[in-house]
A and B are shown apart, each in its own frame.
Chain A
Amino acid sequence: MSTTTATLPAFGLDDQDGNWRKFPSGRVALLAFVHEECPTCGMSMPLIEAAHRAFGSAIDVWAVGQDEAGNAALIERHALTGPMLDDSDLKVSFAYGFDTVPTVILADGEGAELARFVGFGREDWRALFADLAARSGLPEPAIDWTSYADSRPGCGSKAVEPGIYERLVAESEGSPLRARRIEIAPDDDVAEFFYDQGLTDGLPVVPPTPERVLRMLGGTRRDAQEVVAVVPPNLAPVTIEKIAINAVLAGCRPEYLPVVIAAVEAMCTEEFNIHGVSATTMGATPLIIVNGPIRHRIGMNMRLGALGAGHRANASIGRAVRLVLRNIGGGKPGGTERSTLGNSMKYTACFAEWEERSPWAPLHVERGFAAEDSVVTLFAATGQSLMVDQTSRSGRQLAGSFGLRLEGVYHPRGHSGGDVFVTVSPEHVDTLWRDGYTKEALRNRIQEITSRPIRDLLADAESGAGVPPGRFPDGELDRLLPKFASTANINIVVAGADAGKFSMIFDGWASGAIGSMPTSRKIEEV
């Protein structure tokens, strides 16, 4: 047993009855730091209880437990009548700085340490009981000391467990960072380390040092520990900090972070169904479209090459969302991701709508937001291909071309399911608008052009794809079925360079309740 006159850190904790226990308490106090997983603590509990019963009227005998559920178990198992203080936050244990439980400390009424011992020692407890009797003037309880072992080592304090300790240090220093720290050895290769640990999408990543993550967190006003969403398939909660770490990996700048956060929120909704989107053998991935003032503020590309490579904001925002899905959600190819062929958009697929070039309502306004809101919309896409029409002069002809082209989505005979995302180029939009084609007029024309009798959509010897024969009674075979279940399944935005009579078709996955629905979220104004 060691003695010292150092003053111990003051604290206040609740006991199991909700009483607030303040230390120093004005009385001599015995503090016994324990946790339920430690058998040595278990050994000590009867003596702690005996001390409380014998001396509690004069001396505060407090067990201080490191885990909420464990504390309750100890109370029940040992029929504790004495106070069990709840240090499951581990802040007091951390402040006291001990490595081992049980740590038993005797202090005076002003909080000066009188004595302490660690682990279990029968003679330590005997001496302590004699001391408590002398101080209180109360008789020692009858203890069968022979039933106790001589000594037994303690266990590690929860406050020094790796991961927990770093978090406590960060909390005590006021740092917003809580993520586990990984030390990559000086002669290890940082880029290879990330590859080997499975943390990349196959392309190299930017190492997320604490400094870079702190800088990234400057891009949002939200609290770093705020839980933003629960990410399938692991159903792991993701905090702002974890999104920021993956945004650093992806190569984002701090001002992109609010877009990534909103995209993660949208992705993790039931309506978007990212679990299904990732798992499908069809190979789907979120296509991310950004609307509103943020496009200009962070320099997103909505013009020449908007859908392609070379632009940091577009590339890194899409990538960050995929890395969150991979690293937090656990969605990796071969695991829960089962797509047959994959899809190059799974690296990244993000662009902004050129709202100013379009005579039409932008996507987010169509979807119920104010024009001045910054919004991100996710669409589950299985592929992309070009619609080429350099010769149609009228809006009607061009709309017809869209219809003919869209007939091929999934398969020409695949009607009435699924959805599509059409990115109309400026030249195409001019041709349509000149003849008064609104988005809805274009949608209607697409449905008209693609309407075919069910008879023409039947699977047959020429192609086994299509409506199974017998699905519809003979009387129905002349009924016309448009390509899409409704015009609401045709999504339209405008982007691309001023020159070029091409538009881009993004094929969807499955729409409706079992599939995925396009999902939008407002982006934080910073």
Chain B
Amino acid sequence: MTTPRPGTVVLDPTDEREPIRRQLAPRPEHIQGTIGLLDISKPRGNVLLDQIEQRLHERYPAVEVKRYRKPTFAKPAPEDLRRQIAEECGFVIEALAD
């Protein structure tokens, strides 16, 4: 494994009562609303996502499943696709990298 590249070290401008770092989004107790399945467009990922979608319909009939696809796996998703997913979905499963 290569040496990790250094990040930028900065000093905390606050009174330090809260951590200042990236954190995971808070999670709800249950899967509900809309789940987005984002295909990163590597071959065969769609088969996996099809099956996940199927199982979601079986297990959570009330939950809406939306499918999305990046134009290429080589770059992050385009800005407007990200925004669309963020607006439409409460959860995202991104697949499948190999």
Which residues in A have some Cβ–Cβ distance to B below 8 Å?
Answer: 163, 177, 179-186, 188, 190, 193, 196-197, 199, 207-210, 213, 231, 234, 236-238, 241-242, 245-246, 249, 323, 327-330
A207 contacts B10, C-beta separation under 8 Å:
yes
B15 contacts A209, C-beta separation under 8 Å:
no
Interface presence of B9 (CB below 8 A): yes
Which residue from B4, B6, B16, B22 sits with its C-beta under 8 Å from A180? Answer: B16
B14 contacts A199, C-beta separation under 8 Å:
yes
A-B contact count (CB 8 A): 82
What residues of chain B lie closer than 8 Å to A183, measured between beta carbons? 7-9
A238 to B5 Cα, complex, angstroms: 33
A182 contacts B20, C-beta separation under 8 Å:
yes
Which residue from B4, B11, B20 sits with its C-beta under 8 Å from A210? Answer: B11
A236 contacts B10, C-beta separation under 8 Å:
no
Given contacts A197-B20, A199-B20, contact A184 B8 (CB under 8 A): yes
B13 contacts A199, C-beta separation under 8 Å:
yes
B13 contacts A327, C-beta separation under 8 Å:
yes
A188 contacts B22, C-beta separation under 8 Å:
yes
Which residues in B have some Cβ–Cβ distance to A below 8 Å?
Answer: 4-17, 20-22
Which residue from B4, B8, B15, B22 sits with its C-beta under 8 Å from A328? Answer: B15
A163 to B6 Cα, complex, angstroms: 19
Given contacts A188-B22, A199-B20, contact A182 B15 (CB under 8 A): no
Known interface pairs A179-B11, A234-B17; 5 further A-B residue pairs with C-beta atoms within 8 A, sorted by A's residue number: A181-B9, A182-B9, A184-B7, A185-B7, A190-B8
**Lowest 4 A-B CB distances belong to which pairs?**
A236-B15, A180-B12, A179-B11, A186-B5
What residues of chain A lie closer than 8 Å to B22, measured between beta carbons? 185, 188, 193, 196
A210 to B10 Cα, complex, angstroms: 6
A181 contacts B12, C-beta separation under 8 Å:
yes
What residues of chain B lie closer than 8 Å to A329, measured between beta carbons? 15
A180 to B8 Cα, complex, angstroms: 14
User: Which among B4, B11, B22 has the highest number of chain A CB atoms within 10 Å?
Assistant: B11
Tell me, rounded to whole Å, the shortest Cβ–Cβ distance linking A97 to chain B: 23
What residues of chain A lie closer than 8 Å to B11, measured between beta carbons? 177, 179-182, 208-210, 213, 241, 245
Tell me, rounded to whole Å, the shortest Cβ–Cβ distance linking B40 to chain A: 17
Tell me, rounded to whole Å, the shortest Cβ–Cβ distance linking A249 to chain B: 6
Question: Can you identify 19 A-B contacts, CB atoms within 8 angstroms?
Answer: A179-B13, A180-B12, A181-B11, A182-B10, A183-B9, A184-B8, A186-B6, A193-B22, A208-B13, A209-B9, A210-B9, A210-B10, A210-B11, A231-B15, A234-B15, A236-B15, A249-B13, A327-B15, A328-B15
Tell me, rounded to whole Å, the shortest Cβ–Cβ distance linking B41 to chain A: 21
What residues of chain B lie closer than 8 Å to A193, measured between beta carbons? 22
Tell me, rounded to whole Å, the shortest Cβ–Cβ distance linking B48 to chain A: 26
Given contacts A182-B21, A197-B20, A199-B20, contact A188 B7 (CB under 8 A): yes
Q: Kindly report which residue of chain A lies nearest to residue B11, judged by CB atoms.
A: A179
A184 contacts B10, C-beta separation under 8 Å:
yes
Tell me, rounded to whole Å, the shortest Cβ–Cβ distance linking B97 to chain A: 16
Q: Kindly report which residue of chain A lies nearest to residue B21, judged by CB atoms.
A: A182
